[in-house]
Amino acid sequence: DKTGICLEDMETGGFMPTPQYYAEKKGSLTGGILAITSIGQGMVLATPLQVAQMMAGVARGDAVPRPRLVK
């Protein structure tokens, strides 16, 4: 998803392939594809800010924080 920062016109959402995506578009989700997807390679699309936001949510354990730009 988009992070919600004030650069809304410039930001796009990321992409994380699901088993349903592979079933419809690429065939089956094999162990090799799952391995490379788990480390952020292959069809995974995310900005560094989106990854940082996701990891902050994992660290907090209860909510994904909204990032802020500070001058």
* HSE value, Cβ hemisphere, 13 Å, CA-based, for 70: 2
- Residue 9's pLDDT is what? 75
- Residue 43's pLDDT is what? 85
62 token code pair: 């209860």
- Residue 22's pLDDT is what? 84
pTM: predicted TM-score of the whole model, two decimal places: 0.65
- In the chain, the DSSP E strands lie at none
- pLDDT tens, residue by residue, 31-71: 888 898 888 888 888 888 888 888 899 999 988 888 888 88
- Residue 59's pLDDT is what? 93
